[in-house]
């Protein structure tokens, strides 16, 4: 039974506040917009702070004009100014958001592309160890976190601090220092409470996200293996496993919500007490004749203006902390260097002929289990060399090393005398075409999957490759032809059909070096012979490494290499190896008896 791990978000992990400074490069592309957005921010706050002052003069004028002749244009002018200021506050805030929108969206685009490219640069072992669902969530949260940090740091924290300073200045000039001190004490108590409680409940938020990652990974893993689930009639088991993850997520979410209730209640209590204390001070001064009704209204308006943004402080602080964690995880992906990377002085691979050499190659996926033990193998230019042997002998590992999914532990692999570690990966992989044993297709049309071999190929070239791979008749029999959707991972096609697509893609790529890794393992005998004839015709002009389990498919190879437990035990042509009556001959006889049976 598979269990859900609890280490997705370490409970004691502290966010790195330096991450905010690391976002600056994403702002430099639109410095003018950033500056203009900040100007709009300051103007919006100036207008906002001015609004209660105008309200004060309206109330004072109306209060002082009772029982006397009133000049009507004065209060109407003040009311018009009050409405204009209200509108101006909203206008400048909206303009600020409109100006900054391009900055935030472009930052998300840039970092998403950077992460996407980096993930494709990572070595195969990274992707074999990584859960796709959790990785997708990390990328999604990380890019959203960047947008959140940019917006809320600039447009929530900074404006709130600016407004507090402005309001404190107005109250200090208009009244006395007691109001300033009372408001500052209230704000300090409010901020300390919000931060402490948010720190306490962050563990619940992180746990909820962790459970969300795990259940999402579980669901995706199950759906990707839909056929396997069906083969073993394990729908109920999969649902129980998924529900186990959802139950843990439900518990984490419940704790998260209850802690939010505690935070909101505490914040509301502090705001209520602060309003009572400060408004009581104002009431006493109004009764004593030291403050007008307009002054009283202005104090009340300022308190509301200050506590409304502060009311969201707990949420903002929590989200900023979580965004920092998410962005840090995203940047952590970028900071991890690929295990397989180009040498500093790497040059493009030059292929005058296409000879491939494995020189004393040793390799292991982990130190405790060596796979290849001193392989010496030369594939002459334009020749076909087949590697055969039992499962686990290390045959497919040769292809992975040649394609440089991994680097050798000792020895070297050379193409026309050039160590593949000293050439660029792009030029190396451009020169090699591979038909893998397990072909996975994109959830796209049949045509686009074929054209993936060379995206710039013409329609005629794509059709010709399909014809060579004996796919044309099959495609013409489909109602939608080349526009047929192949489904997730190509599930709508049979194994043989998928392998023909893989062969057609390689034919379209037209590389000087071919790797055929069990390229006909999913084909029937008639189709196999037809495609073998096509592959043999193509292979005559290329250096070809054929990895095969069925010996009947490699009888025509120029040379057959027999591997056992990571070593080459025999080598020669089909007839030569049969005459030796050794390991190959025994394999041949065993397979012949199996096929006859």
Mind giving me the DSSP string for 93-105? HHHHHHHHHHHHH
55 in Cβ contact with 304 (< 8 Å)? no
- Tell me the pLDDT tens digit for each residue of 68-105: 666 777 888 888 998 999 899 889 988 988 888 888 77
**In this prediction, what percent of the chain has a pLDDT beyond 90?**
22
C-alpha to C-alpha distance for 409 and 375, rounded to whole angstroms = 12
Quickly state the pLDDT bin for 110 (edges 50, 70, 90).
confident
169 φ/ψ angles, rounded to the nearest 5 degrees: -65, -45
What pLDDT sits at residue 524? 65
For 484, residues 6+ apart whose C-beta sits below 8 A from its C-beta are 445, 446, 475, 478, 492
| CATH fold label, 343-431+511-597 | Rossmann fold (3.40.50)
- Tell me the pLDDT tens digit for each residue of 536-569: 766 777 899 999 888 888 888 899 999 998 999 9
- With 0-12 / 13-18 / 19 or more C-beta atoms within 10 angstroms meaning exposed / middle / buried, residue 510 is middle
What pLDDT sits at residue 373? 92
Ranking 116-120, 229-233, 503-507, 532-536 by mean pLDDT, the lowest is: 532-536
On the question of pLDDT at 576 being above 90, the answer is yes
- Tell me the pLDDT tens digit for each residue of 25-76: 777 778 888 888 889 988 988 998 899 889 888 888 887 776 566 677 788 8
What pLDDT sits at residue 9? 43
What pLDDT sits at residue 1? 38
Enumerate the CATH 1.20.1560.10 domain ranges in the chain, comma separated. 18-335
On the question of pLDDT at 431 being above 60, the answer is yes
C-alpha to C-alpha distance for 360 and 235, rounded to whole angstroms = 49
Enumerate the CATH 3.40.50.300 domain ranges in the chain, comma separated. 343-431+511-597, 441-509
Complete edge-to-edge strand list for the sheet that includes strand 432-435: 432-435, 513-517, 543-548, 384-389, 559-564, 567-572
C-alpha to C-alpha distance for 268 and 380, rounded to whole angstroms = 80
Q: Which candidate, 408, 402, 350, places its Cα nearest to that of 545? A: 402
The SS3 assignment for 147 reads helix
The partner residues of 423 in beta bridges, in order of sequence, read 347
**In this prediction, what percent of the chain has a pLDDT beyond 70?**
89
Which range has highest mean pLDDT (10-14, 212-216, 536-540)?
Answer: 212-216
What pLDDT sits at residue 131? 60
Class of domain 441-509: alpha beta
Class of domain 18-335: mainly alpha
On the question of pLDDT at 394 being above 70, the answer is yes
What pLDDT sits at residue 387? 94
Quickly state the pLDDT bin for 525 (edges 50, 70, 90).
low
pTM (2 d.p.) = 0.63
378 in Cβ contact with 357 (< 8 Å)? yes
Q: Which two tokens stand for residue 406?
A: 């991994």
From residue 341, alpha-carbon distances to 112, 123, 329, 401, 424 in Å are 21, 9, 22, 14, 8
Residue 225 burial (CB count, 10 A): 14
What pLDDT sits at residue 350? 94
Work out whether the CA dihedral 226, 519, 441, 481 comes out positive or negative: negative
On the question of pLDDT at 371 being above 60, the answer is yes
The mean predicted confidence, pLDDT, of the chain is: 83
- With 0-12 / 13-18 / 19 or more C-beta atoms within 10 angstroms meaning exposed / middle / buried, residue 71 is exposed
Ranking 317-331, 412-426, 542-556 by mean pLDDT, the lowest is: 317-331
β-strand pairing of 559-564 with 384-389: parallel
β-strand pairing of 513-517 with 432-435: parallel
- Tell me the pLDDT tens digit for each residue of 473-522: 888 998 888 898 887 666 677 777 888 888 888 889 889 999 988 776 65
Q: Which candidate, 373, 351, 362, 515, places its Cα nearest to that of 420? A: 351
Quickly state the pLDDT bin for 5 (edges 50, 70, 90).
very low
Average pLDDT over residues 185-213: 83
């Amino acid at each position: 039974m598979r269990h859900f791990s609890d280490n997705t978000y370490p409970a004691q992990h502290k966010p790195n506040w330096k991450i905010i400074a690391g976002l600056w490069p994403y702002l430099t592309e639109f410095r003018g917009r950033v500056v203009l957005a900040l100007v709009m921010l300051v103007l919006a706050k100036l207008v906002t702070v001015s609004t209660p002052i105008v309200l004060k003069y309206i109330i004072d004028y109306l209060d002082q004009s009772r029982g006397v002749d009133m000049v009507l244009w004065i209060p109407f002018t003040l009311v018009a100014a009050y409405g204009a200021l209200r509108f101006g506050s909203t206008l400048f805030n909206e303009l600020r958001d409109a100006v900054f929108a391009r900055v935030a969206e472009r930052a998300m685009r840039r970092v998403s592309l950077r992460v996407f490219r980096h993930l494709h640069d990572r070595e195969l072992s990274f992707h074999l160890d990584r859960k796709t669902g959790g990785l997708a969530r990390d990328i999604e949260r990380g890019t959203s976190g960047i947008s959140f940090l940019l917006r809320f740091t600039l447009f929530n924290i900074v404006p709130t601090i600016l407004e507090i300073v402005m309001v404190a200045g107005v109250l200090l000039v208009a009244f006395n220092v007691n109001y300033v001190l009372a408001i500052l004490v209230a704000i300090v108590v409010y901020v300390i409470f919000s931060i402490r409680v948010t720190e306490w409940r962050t563990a619940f938020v992180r746990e909820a996200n962790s459970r969300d990652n795990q259940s999402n990974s579980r669901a995706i893993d199950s759906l990707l293996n839909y056929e396997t689930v069906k083969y073993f009639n394990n729908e109920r088991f999969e649902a129980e496993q998924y529900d186990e993850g959802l139950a843990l997520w439900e518990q984490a979410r419940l704790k998260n919500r209850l802690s939010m209730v505690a935070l909101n209640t505490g914040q509301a209590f502090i705001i209520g007490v602060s309003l009572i204390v400060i408004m009581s001070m104002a009431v006493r001064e109004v009764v004593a004749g030291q403050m007008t009704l307009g002054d009283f209204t202005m104090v009340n308006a300022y308190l509301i203006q200050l506590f409304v943004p502060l009311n969201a402080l707990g949420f903002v602080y929590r989200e900023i902390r979580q965004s920092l964690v998410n962005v840090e995880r995203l940047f952590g992906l970028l900071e991890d260097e690929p295990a397989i990377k180009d040498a500093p002085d790497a040059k493009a691979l030059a292929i005058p002929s296409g000879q491939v050499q494995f020189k004393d190659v040793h390799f292991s996926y982990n130190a405790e289990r060596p796979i290849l033990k001193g392989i010496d193998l030369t594939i002459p230019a334009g020749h076909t060399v087949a590697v055969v042997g039992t499962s686990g002998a290390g045959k497919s590992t040769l292809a992975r090393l040649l394609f440089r999914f991994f680097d050798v532990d000792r020895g070297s692999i050379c193409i026309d005398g050039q160590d593949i570690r000293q050439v660029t990966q792009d030029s190396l992989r451009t020169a090699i075409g591979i038909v893998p044993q397990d072909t996975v297709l994109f959830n796209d049309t049949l045509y686009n999957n074929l054209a993936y071999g060379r995206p710039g190929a013409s329609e005629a070239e794509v059709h010709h490759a399909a014809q060579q791979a004996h796919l044309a008749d099959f495609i013409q029999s489909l109602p939608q032809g080349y526009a047929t959707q192949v489904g997730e991972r190509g599930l709508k096609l049979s194994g043989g059909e998928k392998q023909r697509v893989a062969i057609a893609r390689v034919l379209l790529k037209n590389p000087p070096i071919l790797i055929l890794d069990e390229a006909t393992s999913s084909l029937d005998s008639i189709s196999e012979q037809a495609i073998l004839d096509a592959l043999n015709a193509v292979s005559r002009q290329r250096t070809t490494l054929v990895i095969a389990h069925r010996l009947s498919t490699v009888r025509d190879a120029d040379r057959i290499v027999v591997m056992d437990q990571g070593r080459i035990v025999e080598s020669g042509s089909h007839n030569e190896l049969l005459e030796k009556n050794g390991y190959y001959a025994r394999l041949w006889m065993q397979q012949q008896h199996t096929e006859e049976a």
